Chain A
Amino acid sequence: MTSTTTGALARWVLSAPLLIFLAVFAVFPLILGSWISATDRSILSTTIDFVGLSNYFQTLSDPKFWSAVRFTALFTLITTIATLVFGFLLALLVNRKFPGKTVLLTVLILPIMVAPALMGIMFRLVLNADIGLVPAVLNRFGLDLYLFSPHFVVNLLVVLEVLQWTPFTFLILYAGLQALPQDVFEAAAIDGSSAWRTTFQITVPLMVPAFFVAGFLRAVDALRTFDVIFVLTGGGPGTLTSTLSIYIYKKAFIEGSFGLASAAAMLVLLMVVPLIPLVIRRVTTQVGDVQ
């Protein structure tokens, strides 16, 4: 056996666990999902017939699907940008030595530890007009705030998402900040660059790859949002806050139409896939390229 063959074999052997994991938990479900999306599989029927692209056409002609696409896109865009901005600001604030830093870091990342469904239930209680802490405090000052009314509920969902996931982007961006080359900042300090200018002309450009990693991961997660919204609003009033995940859930488990649900899920995947090469290109950008 030549060394090249041995090397190739070693690479395959070492990669095998991950490849098997991906095959079982990603590739197989994807193939199965694609197949189901081309059938009329339903809980109401004992037979399964091949229907080709019919489920896709039906989904694409459903106004509720597009309403869910619009809400999900808007929700994803706003929450992703907001979590990146707040995460970066937090990272800048924490990126220095001060007493109690470890304690603060622990407190900052606590919201990630809470299950989203539990977060929804928690805020349902905390914001309840009759037994909630927040309305009680506001009432003391003569203020009434109806966060669950149709006028505010979308904003409430955005705020909760940002509250829960800003720590996540903060962690990635803080790690990115820590990894930046210090000599550039020392040179800027010697040249008398202001903090403002240093941040916007050195830190931000150098952090672009980290922003893309954090933004991409957050966007993918926001795109799949289900728990908090389902617990708080059920997708309503009407379908005002219905996300794609809620749409798919209802298709599968309320209507029992697994074919239609799979088609909708595949369409969501197709919407996201084109973004992946773009993100990978940005993430692999070298510091030198940015400069």
Chain B
Amino acid sequence: MVNGKFGKRLLRSGAAAAMFSIAMQAHAQDVTNVRMVLWPGPEGDAMQKVVDTYNKGQGTEDGINVEMVLLSRDDTFAKEATEIATGSSNVDIYFTATYNVGFFARGLQSIDDIGLDTSLYFPTAIDGLTIDGALYGLPLDVSNHFLYYRSDLMEELLGSEEQIAEFRDISEKVLGEARDPKAPEEWDTDDYLAAAAYFSRAENEDSPTRYGTVLQAKTSPFNITLWDDLLWGLGGSWTAEDGSANLHSPEAERSMEIFRTIYEERYTSPDSAQWEYGETNAALQAGSAAFALQWSAAYAELTDPERSPEVYDKIAVAPMPGDPHSTHVHTLAISLNKESQNKEAAKTWMAYLATPEAMDAYAKAGGIPSQPAVLKDNTDINPAFDAIAAHVQQYGYSIPIFPGTFEAMTALTEELSGGWVGVTDIDAALEQANSRLEALLER
């Protein structure tokens, strides 16, 4: 028995709290929580903004709350491999990419039924996420390569007879034939090598930069893609027309020779044997290299007055050197976990993400969506968007997509990186790489 005003107030408060709790539980039961993995960095930051907008707006109508799970950038895929291997339903949506969607396919469910308008996307993005005719990933960011170069140095070279003569002498020494310097937009792989020599003090003591270029030669699966661009730029590929491994081709050998020459003749820093994305940016920012093959994501940093005060207004981009110009393209994506307990809610969220409006918000938040129209609409935010859209469409290629694609990238960089920097013989490295690729293709 409760006596007095205090007791009544206590009863009323208790009743109100109970009612509120019941109401909240009912609301919670109405809302489905969708857990989605992404990695930290620009993609995770941009997606978080889109997720927040959805959760506060459309999500309330759909009865869906999206929760982002950010894993570390280094081992996101390793953690996901473990989850998939154990048949876990911890997360509803995995973070994937064109180079590993085949590897994860066993744990994924096709998203053909979410009503995706594939015409909005780059064809390479859709093709790279399609296995046996079924789509296994919703494309997010597109990644390609540019040739970043110092426009001031190139203008100076092309406008000076004295420097042109010097370039001819150096190119004759390096290539066995004298060449005139060209604008980077017209470079083939030999022009690239000759220019690397010309802008290196090891070959030209009057060079304005210490090194001509920067190799990203660390044993990393992503670094093989830069070498791939030379291979494709010479008309080669990982595979022959019949689908068999083709890394003992003359094109592959020439690509190896170019990297090896650049490294051994010191047209790149000797330390670049362990360099990757970050060090390449640092070399360009410090003015120690005249040009470099680098990911499109670097554009924002290299042209930012605060982060690149010495060179921000002198950096320009060109297609990757080659005839034909060729840039590796891969697409980051999200894929539906086959074991998810919330498939319908996850598909609803993915369908929302596929809309141009959602991708526009993603672009404005710092992502690089794989919808060309959205990129073109947002060139005021990132001037590189226009070039990305143009290069992906004109020069983009996809490495062969099969369950062992990422494993192949790792195997090739393991075998070839030693050849790039003189640790192993070029022919032996290519032979070994070819046999490993062959084994993976056959598997």
Chain A contact residues: over half helix, strand or loop, or mixed? loop
What residues of A have a CB within 8 angstroms of the CB of B406 in the complex? 254
Given the complex of chains A and B, what is the CA–CA distance between A233 and B220 in angstroms? 9
Enumerate chain B residues within 8 angstroms of A153, measured Cβ to Cβ: 273-274
Residues in chain B near residue A234, CB distance under 8 A: 218-220
Residues of B within 8 A of A43 (CB): 81, 84-85, 103-104, 106-107
Decide: B104 and A238 in contact? CB cutoff 8 A. Answer: no
State whether A146 touches B424 (Cβ < 8 A).
Answer: no
Known: A43-B85, A130-B285, A238-B415. A150 touches B422 (CB 8 A): yes
Known: A150-B421, A153-B274, A240-B418. A130 touches B84 (CB 8 A): no
Q: Which residues of B contact A237 (CB under 8 A)?
A: 217, 219, 273-274, 417-418, 420-421, 423
Scoring B residues 370 to 387 as 1 if CB is less than 8 Å from chain A, else 0, what string do you get?
000000000000000000
Complexed CA–CA distance, A252 and B410 (Å): 13
Judge whether B407 is part of the interface by a CB distance below 8 angstroms. yes
Task: Please choose the segment from B42-50, B164-172, B275-283, B317-325 that sits at the chain A interface, where 4 or more of its residues have CB less than 8 A away.
Answer: B275-283
Q: Tell me, rounded to whole Å, the shortest Cβ–Cβ distance linking A202 to chain B.
A: 46
Question: Would A129 and B288 count as touching, CB distance under 8 A?
Answer: yes
Q: A138-164 toward B: CB 8 Å interface, digit per residue (1/0)?
A: 000000001111100100000000000
Select the residue from B283, B286, B423, B424 with max chain A CB neighbours within 10 A: B423
For the complex, is B269 an interface residue (Cβ under 8 Å from A)?
yes
Q: Which of A20-57 contact B (CB under 8 A)?
A: 41, 43-46
Question: A131 an interface residue at 8 Å Cβ cutoff?
Answer: yes
- Measured CB to CB, the nearest residue on chain A to B418 is A238
Are A128 and B418 in contact, CB atoms less than 8 angstroms apart?
A: no
Chain B, interface size category, equals 35 or more
Most chain B beta-carbon contacts within 10 A, residue among A127, A236, A249, A250: A236
Most A-side CB within 10 Å, residue of B221, B274, B403? B274
CA distance A232 to B423 in the complex (A): 17
Within 8 A of A (CB), among B391-443: 403, 406-407, 410, 413-415, 417-424, 429
> Is B344 located at the chain interface by the 8 A CB criterion?
no
CB distance from A191 to the nearest CB of B (A): 55
**A66 → B minimal CB distance (Å):** 15
- Among B77, B107, B270, which residue has its beta carbon within 8 angstroms of that of A149? B270
A111 interface hit (Cβ, 8 Å): no
Return A240 CB to nearest CB of chain B, in Å.
6
Bound-state Cα–Cα, A232 to B406, Å? 21
Task: Looking at the assembled complex, report how far the CB atom of A128 sits from the nearest CB atom of chain B, in whole angstroms.
Answer: 6
A232 in complex: contacting residue of B274, B407, B419, CB < 8 Å: B274
Interface status of B271 (Cβ within 8 A of chain A): yes
A-B contact pairs, 26 of them (CB 8 A): A44-B403, A45-B106, A127-B271, A129-B269, A130-B279, A130-B286, A146-B270, A147-B271, A148-B270, A149-B421, A150-B422, A153-B273, A233-B219, A233-B274, A235-B219, A236-B219, A236-B413, A236-B417, A237-B273, A237-B420, A237-B423, A238-B419, A239-B219, A252-B78, A253-B81, A256-B407
Interface residues of B (CB under 8 A from A): 75, 77-78, 81-82, 84-85, 103-104, 106-107, 217-221, 269-275, 279, 282-283, 285-286, 288, 403, 406-407, 410, 413-415, 417-424, 429
Chain A residues in contact with chain B, CB under 8 A? 41, 43-46, 127-131, 146-150, 153, 232-240, 249-250, 252-256, 258
Nearest 7 A-B pairs (CB), nearest first? A238-B418, A236-B219, A146-B270, A253-B78, A130-B286, A149-B270, A148-B274
